[in-house]
């Protein structure tokens, strides 16, 4: 009897989570399909509003959506915003053609910050599936606790080891799988300084299109990484990714 009850609880938990996940994915996909139909009908403004809503809420979206947003904003003459969406797309699909397009939009010959290592790509993949990974670890944790109680092993410390390990994995995946905040320079020219003050030493003047890693912020300044060194740039000159 305890085994039947335990199996029922485990199966019910798995099915319930899968049903909730399918409902959320279906709702997001329907919005994306609706926006794509608007785009196909050349209702670009309406499509862009739905795309923007999906992106702002960090819901499910396809890389193709980012290309369509870049296409719409380029048609509107907002080349900085078009470069931003292309840069987001580049995170998902690093491609030299994307960099060439950004160079053309920003009238640049060379762009900094677009080199992506295999390690970075793997880490970004883990971040993309962060919720799923955390959910799996959490589900396994619940199952391990249920089994622990069902087998009446709560008084023996060694049987807690799997649960403790899963708690660590849930915490790590939920809190450590976080992408470094990055941005794209949008103003021309943008002044990069060695300190967060106008009285600091000028490092370089750059045009839009460069990607930077944002480490922190102070007043109106972002601390960034520029050519391997610490630097500062005004927040108003950077669009965050």
Q: How high is the pLDDT of residue 154?
A: 54
Q: How high is the pLDDT of residue 117?
A: 67
Residue entry with tokens 């915003």: 81
Considering all CA atoms of the chain, what is the largest pairwise distance in Å, rounded to the nearest integer? 76
**Which pTM value belongs to this model?**
0.63
Exposure class string for 48-66: b at 16+ Cβ within 10 A, else e:
bebbeebeeeeeebeeebb
Homologous superfamily of the 182-240 domain (CATH): SH3 Domains (2.30.30.40)
Per CATH, is 2-108 categorized as 3.40.50.150? Answer: no
Structure tokens at 99: 């960099």
Q: How high is the pLDDT of residue 37?
A: 93
> Where exactly are the structural domains of the chain?
2-108, 120-175, 182-240
Helical residues (DSSP H) of the chain, grouped into ranges: 2-40, 44-56, 63-75, 79-92, 96-106, 118-128, 130-150, 161-175
Residues 6+ apart with CB under 8 A from 106: 79, 80, 83, 207, 208, 209
Q: Do the first three CATH levels of 2-108 and 182-240 match, i.e. the same topology?
A: no
- Reference 206, options 193, 221, 191, 194; nearest CA is 191
Q: How high is the pLDDT of residue 155?
A: 57
Q: What is the pLDDT along the chain (241 residues), one digit of tens a residue?
A: 445 554 545 444 555 444 444 445 555 678 888 999 999 999 999 999 999 988 887 655 678 999 999 999 999 998 888 998 998 888 778 888 888 999 898 888 888 888 766 777 777 778 778 888 888 988 888 888 888 777 765 556 666 788 888 889 888 888 877 767 888 898 888 999 999 988 889 999 998 889 898 999 998 999 998 888 899 999 999 988 7
Q: How high is the pLDDT of residue 63?
A: 85
């Amino acid at each position: 009897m305890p085994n039947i009850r335990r199996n029922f609880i485990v199966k019910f938990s798995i099915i319930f989570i899968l049903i909730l996940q399918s409902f959320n994915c279906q709702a997001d996909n329907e919005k994306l399909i609706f926006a794509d139909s608007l785009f196909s009908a050349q209702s670009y403004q309406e499509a862009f509003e739905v795309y923007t809503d999906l992106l702002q809420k960090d819901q499910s979206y396809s890389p193709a959506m980012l290309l369509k947003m870049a296409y719409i904003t380029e048609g509107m003459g907002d080349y900085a915003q078009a470069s931003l969406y292309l840069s987001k797309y580049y995170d998902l699909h690093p491609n030299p053609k994307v960099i060439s397009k950004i160079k053309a939009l920003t009238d640049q010959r060379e762009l900094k910050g677009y080199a992506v290592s295999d390690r970075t790509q793997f880490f970004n993949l883990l971040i993309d599936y962060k919720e799923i990974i955390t959910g799996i670890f959490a589900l396994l944790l619940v199952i391990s606790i249920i089994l622990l109680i069902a087998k009446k092993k709560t008084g023996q410390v060694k049987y807690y080891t799997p649960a403790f390990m899963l708690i660590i994995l849930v915490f790590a995946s939920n809190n450590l799988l976080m992408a470094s905040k990055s941005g794209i320079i949008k103003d021309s020219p943008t002044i990069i300084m060695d300190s967060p003050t106008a009285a600091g030493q000028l490092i370089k003047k750059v045009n839009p299109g460069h990607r930077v890693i944002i480490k922190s912020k102070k007043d109106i300044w972002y601390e960034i990484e520029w050519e391997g060194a610490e630097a500062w740039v005004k927040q108003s000159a950077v669009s965050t990714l």
